Each structure stands twice: as C-alpha cells, then as structure tokens.
Amino acid sequence: MDVEFRIKRFDGEKIAGIAFERSPIKETLLSYVGSDDPYTSSSWGRVLKTGGKLFFQQKGEISAYIEGGFYSLKGENTSDNSLFSLVGNLKKDFFPLFDFITKNDIGVVVVGESFKEDNLYFSYGKGGYFSPKYFFLIGPEYEFFSYTMDRNLLLNVSVLPSLTTYGSDDDSKMTFGLD
C-alpha cells in the first residue's frame, strides 16, 4: 500500500509543495514481497521507500516542473540505503494538429539520482532493486491527450527517447532508452 501526504500552495499558475511518502519498492519480487531460504529459515527483501520531496510547478503555455527528494530505503535483513533525486521538466504547449487531440506538448526531461549503496543483487542482504551509485537521464518528451466525442475515454500517449548513463563503483554504462 502506498501512503502519500501532500501539502500544496496554489497561486494562479504556480504550484509549490512538499510530499511525504512511504511505499514498497516494486521493481522485483525480492524487493516487493521478499524471499525465504528454506534451509536456514532466513528471510530478506520487502524494501520500503520512506521520505519526501519538495516540488515547484509553473503552468502555462510553457510549463516547468522541478523536484528534489530524499528517501531512506529499508528492508528485512537488507542493508540500509538512501536515495537523493532531482527531476526537471520543461514543456511547450502546441496547438493540436487534429481536432481529436485535446492537448499537445513537447519538451525536455532531466532526471538525476544517487544511491548510497548498490543493492541490485539478489543474494542475502541485498534488496534486489535498481540502485546504482549515480543515474542520469536526459531526453525530449512528446505527450498528447485525447478524449472521445462523448468524453468517456481518455487516450494519453507519452514518448520519451533518452540518453541514460548509470554506474556503480566497479562499472558504468551509457544506453539509449525509449520509454
């Protein structure tokens, strides 16, 4: 179960706030539900992410969003970890090309994350979740919304081709992702 508490301040087109959350890491079965060793009766996993973030959003023809967060990651018989994250987004609203498109945005997304420890491995004491020492993503984003004529169905399409780099103490990788 995800638990989140938000405080927002609205001022016309500007939104600023703080959010606190506590949620399970759902990346793998080990990080989400844990594992039991039948020979030693030891169990590990079930990692919870607890922390908060500050965010600011400016809405309008050109929209901007920035957030910074700090989280503690703790599980059953796993090493404790921490996560620091920064996210930025800048979008321009374009007029729809077709009548059925309600909203049409193009922009750029930047994401940076840093973990204290790499807990990707599935052995005892590790959490089984993606946690490199550093992670960086940058790329253009295209998004559009469309409703059906009777407004019963919403279609939301988002494309984010990105350049991604991440690494730990012993290696680093650069990839091209398409989400």
Residue range 23-58, pLDDT digits in tens? 999 988 888 898 888 888 888 889 999 999 999 999
**Tokens at 142, concatenated:** 């295209």
Residue 9 pLDDT more than 80? Answer: no
User: What is the average pLDDT across 142-151?
Assistant: 77
- Decide: 125 and 165 in contact? Cβ < 8 Å: no
Residue 85, SS3? strand
Residue 31, SS3? helix
For residue 102, what pLDDT is reported?
72
**pLDDT per position as a tens digit, 78-137:** 889 999 999 999 999 877 666 656 778 899 999 999 999 887 777 777 888 888 889 999
Contacts of residue 164, Cβ cutoff 8 Å, sequence gap at least 6: 135, 136, 137, 174, 175, 176, 177
For residue 94, what pLDDT is reported?
79
Residue 163's pLDDT band (cuts 50, 70, 90): very high
